[in-house]
Structures are given as C-alpha cells and as structure tokens.
C-alpha cells in the first residue's frame, strides 16, 4: 500500500496538514492537542447508542444520537434543547439556501452556492462542540427532519 508520505515526501505531507488545519502553529505544538481531540472523538463515537450533548460554550443546544459515519461526515438525529430556539433561524436559513443551491440553474449556481457557504460559516462561527468533553465540529447542518451532519474539527 502506498501512503501519502512515500508519494509526496514527508516535508510536503507536514506542510499539507498544517495548511489543511489552517493553523500556523508547528506540528509539534499541535500533536498533544490533536491526540486528546482524537481520543475524545473515539469516546463520542463509542456512545453511538447514547445521546451526546451539542454545546455552544456552556450553552446546551441539544443532543445527538449518533447513527452513522460517511467519509468525513458524522450523522445523527438531533433533539433540540430550549436554548436551540435562539439559533434556529441560522439553521433554517442554511437549509433554505441549500435547497436554492440544489435547484439553481447553471447561471445562478455560483451566487446561490456563495450565499449558502456564508450561511454555513455563520453556523461555524458559533463554535459548536459535541460530546463530553466537547470536541469542536464544523459544517453542522440539518439534512432532513431532525437529521444532522457535521465534521469533527481536528
């Protein structure tokens, strides 16, 4: 089996990882944090039958029952807490804009996609975390009634 290091070289792989994480810190400084985050993600994934909390800082937005993993996406069923109502309009806006992207003509696709990405960034700016301890996530979005997808931010 050929891995990325043998093809691209070790220096290129380290540079790619740093760029992909959008972090200027040297890899040596990130390694302990990354190890703790990966351990927390594994712990959360082991709780597939359990409800895990979704938080924005100390605020509890709801719980997710993790159901599946698809490439980089973690999938689950979301149960909102009372605090979620403050943020519901952001998520509804993102979902509406995704429908527009999906239905856009070729001429309107780029503009619709840009609007959707802006809405998704506003959700990312909330700084959501999942599980105990809270592991940061990105691209948290509803893909159906109560169904959510997100990516672990490691």
Model pLDDT, residue 25: 43
Would you say residue 150 has pLDDT above 80? yes
How far, in Å, CA of 110 to CA of 130, rounded?
Answer: 31
Given a cut of 70, whether residue 26 has pLDDT beyond it is no
Q: Per-residue pLDDT for 131 more than 70?
A: yes
The rounded distance, in Å, linking the Cα atoms of 8 and 16 is 10
| pLDDT reported for residue 143 | 85
State both tokens at 11.
């220096």
Q: Answer whether 0.85 is exceeded by the pTM.
A: no
Torsions phi, psi of 61, nearest 5? -85, -25
The whole-number average pLDDT for the span 80-95 is 93
Q: Who wins on pLDDT, 7 or 110?
A: 110
**Who wins on pLDDT, 35 or 153?**
153
Mean pLDDT for 43-63 is 80
Mean pLDDT of the chain: 77
**Residue 78 β-bridge partners:** 64
């Amino acid at each position: 089996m050929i891995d990325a290091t043998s093809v691209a070289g070790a220096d290129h792989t380290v540079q790619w990882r740093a760029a992909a994480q959008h972090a200027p810190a040297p890899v040596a400084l990130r390694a302990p944090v990354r190890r703790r985050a990966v351990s927390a993600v594994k712990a959360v994934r082991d709780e597939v039958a359990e409800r895990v909390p979704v938080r924005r800082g100390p605020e509890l937005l709801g719980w997710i029952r993790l159901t599946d993993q698809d490439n980089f996406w973690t999938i689950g069923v979301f149960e909102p807490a009372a605090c979620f109502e403050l943020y519901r309009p952001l998520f509804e806006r993102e979902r509406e804009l995704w429908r527009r992207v999906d239905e856009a003509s070729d001429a309107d696709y780029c503009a619709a996609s840009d609007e959707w990405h802006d809405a998704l960034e506003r959700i990312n700016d909330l700084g959501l975390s999942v599980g105990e301890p809270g592991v940061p996530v990105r691209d948290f979005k509803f893909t159906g009634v109560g169904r959510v997808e997100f990516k672990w931010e490691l």
